[in-house]
Amino acid sequence: MTMDVTFLGTGSAYPSPHRGASALVLRTEGECWLFDCGEGTQTQLMKSQLRAGRITKVFISHLHGDHLFGLPGLLCTVSLNSNPDPQQRLGRVDIYGPRGLRHFLRVTLGLTGSQLLFPYAGKRALSPNTDVHELEPTSDQSPEEGQLSPEVTADGPLHPQEQPGRTISLDVSSECYLLFEDKRFVVQAFRLFHRIPSFGFCVQEHDRPGRLKTELLKELGLKPGPLYGRLKAGEAVTLESGRLVLPAEVLEDATPGRKVCILGDCSSVLGEGPLRLCHRADILVHEATLANEHREKAVEHGHSTPEMAAAVAQACRARRLVLHHFSQRYKPCGAQKEGGKDDVSELKRQAEDALQDSGVEVVLAEDFLTLNVPIRCDQSLPVR
């Protein structure tokens, strides 16, 4: 079961010919989840190996334009290129993001007559259902002027085919937002501090039970059948002889689920809960807008330096820290003048310096870089 992350845009503030605006895709079994969608993301997708039509979920970390302005166009294009046969295409796109996102989409799609996406009555079968789930921010996530007044996001009349949507509130005890849980994943969000409310996302794959030790089962006199399934599901089973067979006896070690954490723009993470949530993340994606020597300016704008990103990775004991969201002053390695200032590889060195002996690997993201997230064999879990 492969799982990988592809960066579509690694620049901050705006897209440039050197770096797209923020967007990355987490892919698993052909399904694509898009994290942020700056202007030009649909074009970056076309240039990549990924297919926009495979996007089933979109996560928007915060409402700054460099993370959002590509979303209306992307949805229109997915809709336009979707198979007219409803059997042949993904029927639904779920969108998660801060309060205000629903209003943004309603107005941008509504005023532009984007009727394929939220079609008029009678055309529903032609359109994917789009449901927008909004995260309710708290007042400590940004300076006061960065908070949206309730009037600005007040629910006006829904678009005729708009789904009513859902508001997700902070779970105070875990300091997280539960977005959804299904057979394979649980996805949560958490609060970051930025100029406007910003969020991080944690995608946690469930652990997978180990394989049955079939030789041993045969020795015990158990033949393939329903009892196998019950043991695999973690249930104890009593043989005809009266012998109790515990799952731990007959199952190989479980495979630990993978964990990918993707943080939006921030100068800090709010609370300890998110650090526990991201503990031992296989990949922690964190912004590093400016180099350490510009820390004051970075913080003033709600951003981080490599050193600050490294501190978060260390607090989580992440396995790999991936830096992105670079100021457009840092050209990609290929486009960089030899020996020039504002060398992006200096950002990597600064994070590595801060992580000496911690065992955290540092990676610099670039547009179209794909990182595989391998299943971990090094650290198998005890059977439950």
162 is written with which tokens? Answer: 């708009």
> What does the block give as tokens for 276?
């526990």
Amino acid (one-letter) located at 166? R
**Of residues 119-178, those binding a copy of itself (CB under 8 A):** 120, 145-146, 148, 151-153, 157
- What residue 151 binds from a copy of itself, Zn ion, none (CB within 5 to 8 A, per partner kind)? a copy of itself
Measured in whole angstroms, how far is the alpha carbon of residue 47 from the centre of its chain? 21
110 binds, among Zn ion, a copy of itself, none (CB under 5 to 8 A by kind): a copy of itself
Instruction: Give me the DSSP letters along 168-182.
Output: E--BTTTTBEEEEE-
Nearest to 330 by CA among 357, 361, 294, 358: 294
Stretch of 65-73, 89-97, 140-148, 330-338 contacting Zn ion, by CB under 5 A: 65-73
Which residue is catalytic, options 36, 66, 265, 367? 66
Q: Examine residue 104 and tell whether it contacts a copy of itself (CB under 8 A).
A: yes
The site string for a copy of itself over 176-215 (x = CB under 8 A, - otherwise) reads: -------------------xx-------------------
Can residue 335 be called a binding residue for a copy of itself (CB under 8 A)? no
- Residue 226's binding partner, choosing from a copy of itself, Zn ion, none, with beta-carbon cut-off 5 to 8 A by kind? none
Residue 99: C-alpha distances to residues 57, 141, 193, 301 (Å) = 17, 13, 15, 21
How far apart are CB 68 and a copy of itself at their closest, in Å? Answer: 6
Q: Which of 210, 292, 301 is nearest to 256 (CA)?
A: 210
Using rule CB under 5 A, residue 286 touches Zn ion: no
By beta-carbon proximity to Zn ion, the closer residue of 134 and 265 is 265
DSSP states along 335-375: GSPTT-SSBHHHHHHHHHHHTTTS--EEEE--TT-EEE-PP
| 147 within 8 A of 137, measured Cβ to Cβ | yes
- C-alpha distance from residue 308 to each of 202, 234, 302, 312 (Å): 19, 42, 12, 7
Nearest to 107 by CA among 150, 159, 42, 154: 159
Virtual CA dihedral for 213, 217, 218, 223, nearest 10 degrees? -110
- Please list every residue from 160 through 199 that binds Zn ion, using CB under 5 A: none
Stretch of residues binding a copy of itself (CB under 8 A), selected from 63-71, 125-133, 202-210, 250-258? 63-71
By CB under 8 A, name the one of 51, 53, 56, 108 that touches a copy of itself: 108
Query: Pick from Zn ion, a copy of itself, none: which does 368 bind, CB < 5 to 8 A by kind?
Result: none
14 touches a copy of itself by CB under 8 A? yes
Answer yes or no whether residue 16 interacts with a copy of itself by CB under 8 A: yes
Q: What single string gives the DSSP state of each residue in 41-68?
A: HHHHHHHSS--GGGEEEEE-S---GGGT
Does position 112 interact with a copy of itself (CB under 8 A)? The reply is yes
Task: Look at residue 82 and give its three-state secondary structure.
Answer: coil
Backbone CA torsion sign across 294, 299, 305, 311: positive
265 binds Zn ion (CB under 5 A): yes
Distance in angstroms (rounded) separating the CA atoms of residues 62 and 77: 22
Q: Pick from 63, 170, 311, 323 the residue near a copy of itself by CB under 8 A.
A: 63
- Cα separation, 280 vs 58, in Å, equals 24
Q: Is 66 one of the catalytic residues? A: yes
CB of 358 to a copy of itself, least distance (A): 35
Q: Which stretch binds a copy of itself (CB under 8 A): 114-122, 243-251, 256-264, 337-345?
A: 114-122
Which segment (98-106, 171-179, 235-243, 246-254) binds a copy of itself by CB under 8 A? 98-106
**If binding means CB under 8 A, how many residues of this protein chain bind a copy of itself?**
45
User: Which are the catalytic amino acids?
Assistant: 66
Q: Contact residues for Zn ion (CB under 5 A)?
A: 12, 64, 66, 265
Binding-site ranges for a copy of itself (CB under 8 A): 13-17, 21, 39-40, 42-43, 46-47, 63-66, 68-70, 72-73, 76-77, 80, 100, 103-104, 107-108, 110-115, 120, 145-146, 148, 151-153, 157, 195-196
